[in-house]
Structure 1
Amino acid sequence: MSDIAVLHIDDEPDFLDVASEILAQQSDKLTVIPAAGASEGLDRLATRSIDCIVSDYRMPEKDGIELLKTVREEYPDLPFILFTGEGSEAVASDAIAAGATDYLRKGHGTERYELLANRIENAVEQYRTTQRAAELERVRALVSSIDQALIRASSLSAIETRVCEIISNSEPYRFAWIGEHDPETDRIEPQACAGVEDEYLDTIVVTADDSPTGQGPAGRAVQNRRIATSQNIQDDPAFEVWREEALKRDYRSSAAVPLEYNDTLYGLLCVYSSRPSAFAEDEQELLAELGHSISHAMHSLKIRDELRTERTFIDQALDSLADIFYVLDSEGNIQRCNEHFATLAGYTDAQITNLDVASLFPEDEQDAVAEAIDEALTTGHSTIEAEFLTAEGNRAPHEFTADRLTDSDGTLLGLVGTGRNIAERTRRERELQDQKEQLEQFAATVSHDLRNPLNVIQGRLELVQAEQPSDHLDVIETATDRMERIVEDLLWLAREQQDIGSLEPVAIDAVAEAAWELVSDPADEAELYCDYGADTQPLIKADTDQLRHLLENLFRNTIDHAGLDVTVVVGEIFGDANGFYIEDDGPGIPEEDRETVFEAGYSTSESGTGLGLNIVKRVVDAHGWDIRATESSIGGTRFEITGLETVE
């Protein structure tokens, strides 16, 4: 048994001193606190933690029975032994009836004090056992009430407020507050409180540092992350900075409980009791468990709020999509969808949930949709184009994708996917198909109805020139050549467009020389130089026919604009650009025109078609290359084609 504080009350000072000393000698567990009279005894009781009262019967202010009745008003179970030299059975009976724990007559010799010490120890042990059981039951009931409140709480503020209210309404607790630790300032800022506060929190500063305001239970609890107490505010030097304000409000002891979960400090619970030494070890354990429950609830609400925020964000993001979004279970029933899906189908969220997704398609599409679902469940992915039945009964063509959905363990949950309305794409595809057919018809017309008469003209022209040469005939020949080139360019644009065949390793100088032979006339003075080393020339990946057509148009453009005596150089571009160049010694292209030369119809030559460089740009784009026109090193025009993929 721990030390026992005995309040010994007697109106005879001499006897009081001697008796108190003798009583203390009977047991080293007893600490005797003398009080000369009932008034002084009540004052001691109000300011000290007392385990047992030993009182004389006959005293001038109040006799022992009257004192007992006064004590019982506030301390109904505190051990009270009437120890008197003047007694009778009637006094003993009155004492027991008034609630005395025991009655003992004074006597001579130490034997009576030894007996008194024994009676005190027995009474206090029984009192403490009963009191502790009641206290633990009270704390358990308190914990149960708070657990119920935690289950019903819908927010962190609701938890903090309700916990403080329940604790402050449980005797002997007078006040409770929950604060948060600010790591930047080290201050503990109150968030909620309840009980007899009377602006207490407005008058104090609590920190978790090494200053005096950080030495109390709250500061130690934050620093050490375990419950801390001040069992006697009156005498505790660590509570000095708050003592005056605390005692004004009858706070006699205090405990601080860290609200920590998984190493995260969610706050601090501070509790104040009207009794000194109110927080015994087993009560601290229960409060520590309570702190764990509160912090767990705070953590759960924090996670729930984060998930709710994330869910709201995801819902808003999905609802903003112009596409359909859906989640199906493994049976093909809708589990979740965005607003666009529900609106398009004409259902509310509640109506569409668990609906068989196949029912949202026309009967002639349902088998194909079911097969696509099975394919995604089996292979992990599927894509299907199907017509979706809208709320108005219309058939809206969509492209649907589906991917298998599993949990973290790989267990199949269903499918997740999207659906995109392809009505506009289908319309465009039909238009493009129509245009393609028109172009093919145009190509056929150009090839037959224009080329054949042109061939007749060229043939007759050769015959006439052979019989009777004339400058006029030379002009006609030039014009027919230009017409032939226009026909060739138009046919390429109509038939080839930007279609690229297989990419093969190609040597640029070989293709350039082949293209030059097709374009140049041996009778002219135009010359081509390939500035490539035979041993170092890299191969590039390209469509050989398209690359040759590109070079033909560049060479023809050069001859048309720079003259029949032009010098053309083909060389490699080194570095990150990775490409080749074609430059000439002609008049060049004005800087302001270098961006527009690739547009269809641009030409500064009377013999030009205005299509050649546009065809060049189309071939470059189709390969994913880049081209630019600039000034050559020999004074004319330089075309640089970069972004090529080389073959090692």
Structure 2
Amino acid sequence: MGGSVDRTQSRINDVIRRVHEALIAAETCDELEAAVCRAFAESEPYVFAWIGAHDPETDRVVPSATAGRGAAYLDEITISLDDPAEASGPTASALRTGTAQIMQRIRDDPDYGPWREQALSYGFESSAAIPLVADERTDGVLNLYSERVDAFAETERSLLAELGATIGTAMSGLRARQELESQKRRYKRLTERISDAYYAVDDEWTITYWNDQMAARTGRPAAEVVGETLWTAFPAILGSEAEEQYRTAMETNQPQSFEMYVEDPFDYWVEIDVHPDDDGLSVFSREITERKRREAELTRAERRLDAIVHNTSESIYIKSRDGEYLFINEVGAEVFGSTPEAVVGTFDDEHFDAESVEGIADDDRHVIETETAETWERVRYVDGRKHVFIDNKFPYRDGSGEVIGLVGVSREITDRKAYEQRLQEQRDGLDLLNKVVRHDIRNNLQVVLGYGELLTEHVDVDGRGHLRTILKNAESAVELTHTAADLAEVMVNPDRDPVRISLDDVIRTQITEIRETFDGVDVAVDGSLPTTAVLADEMLSSVFRNLLKNAVQHNDKATPEVRVSATVETDTVTVRVADNGPGVPEDLRPTIFGKGEKGLDSQGTGVGLYLVRTLVEAYGGDVWIEERPPADASTATDDGEGAVFAVELPTA
């Protein structure tokens, strides 16, 4: 009897030794489970061993390692925990109770019913289900099979239970170590993949980790700094905001986030997140220099926009969809005789009269519903006072693009409209005066001239001189009506619309009229007039009528002589009107084309040359007085008398 016990103890010790060797050699749980199964399967009286664990998805015990003969046995059976018969078997009971379950006689044990036939077919006569327990938790079951009945003695049962706890503890340790290594690998991959610069320090401020991004930013590799204290490796941190934030995180165990500028030699802005843990601090930082630059630019832009909004002469406001003022600048509030603070939160019916409010609501509704910008000229009344606005309204959108109101930019043009009304009234009056001058006064003067001519044969010699004076002044008045009418036309319609005009036809017509109007004048063309068309309008005739008339009327010679010439350039034609009169003094030349300016001893109004300049410049041309007549001009006197007026016009 004693020898049998000794042999059993020796055999079990040998198995325990092999299991312990497996526990030492195994790197993973899979290696340990396989080694344990082999140690039992290769030792008498065991012929088959397997380890299984509960699969919560299928609610079955699933094998994870096997050894010995009988692996096919597991393909033929199931151990389901939701089946009452299978759940009462040895393996499920060991999982459930955490105690070893011994089946000394498989043939007779009623709890082995579901698997008896298969077990006996493989020669299994007895079995043991040993729970693998660690920290009062069963992680799996070691199942052993023997070909002998009563193979598991009492001593062996106790040793197997202890061995199951040892294996369970070893497996739990391996799983924990594997999980730790896995976490370390994931942690390393994470810290190397993140774009942030990252480092860690322990609770003694020793640097324990330093990723590649941190090395690139500082120019110091991990091998150089890991193991040093933070303050030794980077003494510049001492006394900085970073030191204060780090120490706060370490002392309070609370995360800290802040931004700081890192001075030379780095010269950049960083955003830093400090996360404390049981081992020390994890510090993540990212460079935000570009973001800070954009923020600074945005701040400057906001300041400029604020200056524009609050210093413009236009009303600027924002209203919600229901018409509440969300913002208004000082100019807009002044229209209501109020301040921006007082207007915000109010509605239009608190400021405008009822009719104005209805019109404003229609305009606002149109902009919001059509989601389009619109511009209107609108009349509004505030406290009974009329205001005229140019209203520009735009949809106001939120970040998602939804229209949540409108933006208004209004320019008050009340004074301008009043001025335009007065100007229009003046133009209407000037137009009426023009008609009076053209028709009534000129017709009356023509009557005076007609009857004056009839009186020539009815007055004596002394009276004829007075009659000639009357006729001469009447003729001058008729000419003055032409100039006044032309000037009125220009003032009533100041905007010219140049078209193609035949220059030579206009000049020849005016030369003919001058010859017919003034007796005893010598008006001729030097050379030939160009047939080139110029850009002008029907008022071009007034330009040359006034220049030719000026050359005759202001001439002090017995026989006034006038010469007209023209030269053609690539884009312009220059016409010169030269006379043999007294000329224009040099000090008068800069102002001779001004309104109301007269030459020496002039009896005219001074508006003729002003009209010439106004028309020529409207055509895009120019007019000036030449320094002196050309040397070979037949109209020039020996002492250089005479004047030359030059008109430059664009060709068509």
- TM bucket by the smaller chain? 0.5 to 0.7
3-state SS, counterpart of residue 594 of structure 1: helix
Cα distance change of structure 1 residues 406 and 572 upon mapping to structure 2, 3 Å threshold: farther
3-state SS, counterpart of residue 467 of structure 2: helix
Residue by residue, what CA displacement relative to the aligned partner does 1:408-458 show, whole Å, maximum 9, x if unpaired? 998767654432222322332343244335435545665677545533432
Contact 1:258/1:265, CA 8 A, preserved across alignment: no
Q: Which has the larger radius of gyration?
A: 2
Shift of 1:527: 2.4
Match of 1:386 in 2: 379
How many Å separate the matches in 2 of 1:570 and 1:358? 71
Matched, 1:419 2:410: yes
Match of 2:643 in 1: 637
Cα distance change of structure 1 residues 458 and 266 upon mapping to structure 2, 3 Å threshold: same
How many Å separate the matches in 2 of 1:533 and 1:487? 29
Matched, 1:483 2:489: no
Shift of 1:623: 3.7
How many Å separate the matches in 2 of 1:265 and 1:584? 77
Shift of 1:571: 1.9
Aligned pair partner of 2:268 in 266, 269, 279: 266
Contact 2:621/2:647, CA 8 A, preserved across alignment: yes
Residue by residue, what CA displacement relative to the aligned partner does 1:328-372 show, whole Å, maximum 9, x if unpaired? 566665454322113433555466457555764332234444454
3-state SS, counterpart of residue 590 of structure 2: coil
Contact 2:515/2:521, CA 8 A, preserved across alignment: no
Match of 2:314 in 1: 323
Cα distance change of structure 1 residues 378 and 232 upon mapping to structure 2, 3 Å threshold: closer
Shift of 1:512: 1.6
How many Å separate the matches in 1 of 2:615 and 2:234? 91
Shift of 1:314: 0.5
User: Which letter maps to 1:481?
Assistant: E
Match of 1:312 in 2: 303
Q: What is the 5 A alignment of 1:526-605?
A: 526-529=522-525, 537-544=531-538, 546-562=539-555, 564-572=559-567, 574=569, 578-586=572-580, 587-604=582-599
Matched, 1:608 2:604: yes
3-state SS, counterpart of residue 490 of structure 1: helix
Match of 2:510 in 1: 515
Contact 1:372/1:382, CA 8 A, preserved across alignment: no
Contact 1:482/1:608, CA 8 A, preserved across alignment: no
Shift of 1:610: 1.8
Q: What is the total number of aligned residue pairs between the two structures?
A: 424
Unmatched tracts of structure 1, length 5 or more: 1-121, 141-146, 148-162, 176-216, 250-256, 272-277
User: Which letter maps to 1:489?
Assistant: T
How many Å separate the matches in 2 of 1:406 and 1:353? 19
How many Å separate the matches in 2 of 1:366 and 1:243? 72
Percentage of identical aligned residues: 20
How many Å separate the matches in 2 of 1:291 and 1:550? 80
Shift of 1:488: 3.1
Residue by residue, what CA displacement relative to the aligned partner does 1:463-522 show, whole Å, maximum 9, x if unpaired? 122445734433332222222223333344345425156532112222222222223338
| CA-atom RMSD in angstroms | 5.4
Shift of 1:555: 1.5
3-state SS, counterpart of residue 173 of structure 1: coil
Contact 1:573/1:580, CA 8 A, preserved across alignment: yes
How many Å separate the matches in 2 of 1:407 and 1:540? 57
Match of 2:249 in 1: none
Residue by residue, what CA displacement relative to the aligned partner does 1:219-246 show, whole Å, maximum 9, x if unpaired? 963487x9755236789xxx9xx98989
Contact 1:222/1:258, CA 8 A, preserved across alignment: no
Cα distance change of structure 1 residues 472 and 533 upon mapping to structure 2, 3 Å threshold: closer
Shift of 1:300: 4.8
User: Which letter maps to 2:355?
Assistant: D
Match of 2:144 in 1: none
3-state SS, counterpart of residue 497 of structure 1: helix
Cα distance change of structure 1 residues 532 and 326 upon mapping to structure 2, 3 Å threshold: farther
How many Å separate the matches in 2 of 1:571 and 1:363? 68
Cα distance change of structure 1 residues 428 and 266 upon mapping to structure 2, 3 Å threshold: same
Cα distance change of structure 1 residues 607 and 331 upon mapping to structure 2, 3 Å threshold: same
User: Which letter maps to 1:172?
Assistant: E
Match of 2:115 in 1: none
How many Å separate the matches in 2 of 1:590 and 1:559? 17
Cα distance change of structure 1 residues 324 and 627 upon mapping to structure 2, 3 Å threshold: farther
User: Which letter maps to 1:558?
Assistant: A
How many Å separate the matches in 1 of 2:478 and 2:603? 11
Shift of 1:556: 0.9
Match of 1:7 in 2: none
Shift of 1:525: 4.1
Aligned pair partner of 1:465 in 447, 456, 467: 456
Match of 1:171 in 2: 203
Contact 1:325/1:341, CA 8 A, preserved across alignment: yes
3-state SS, counterpart of residue 364 of structure 1: helix
Matched, 1:504 2:499: yes
Contact 1:482/1:607, CA 8 A, preserved across alignment: no
Residue by residue, what CA displacement relative to the aligned partner does 1:112-171 show, whole Å, maximum 9, x if unpaired? xxxxxxxxxx99x979969x98xx89x99xxxxxx9xxxxxxxxxxxxxxx99x999x72
How many Å separate the matches in 2 of 1:474 and 1:568? 28
Unmatched tracts of structure 2, length 5 or more: 1-172, 240-258, 274-278, 637-641
How many Å separate the matches in 2 of 1:329 and 1:414? 4
Contact 2:371/2:403, CA 8 A, preserved across alignment: no
How many Å separate the matches in 2 of 1:640 and 1:342? 56
User: Which letter maps to 2:645?
Assistant: F
Q: What is the 5 A alignment of 1:149-164?
A: none
3-state SS, counterpart of residue 389 of structure 2: strand
Q: TM-score, normalised by structure 2?
A: 0.52
How many Å separate the matches in 2 of 1:474 and 1:437? 38
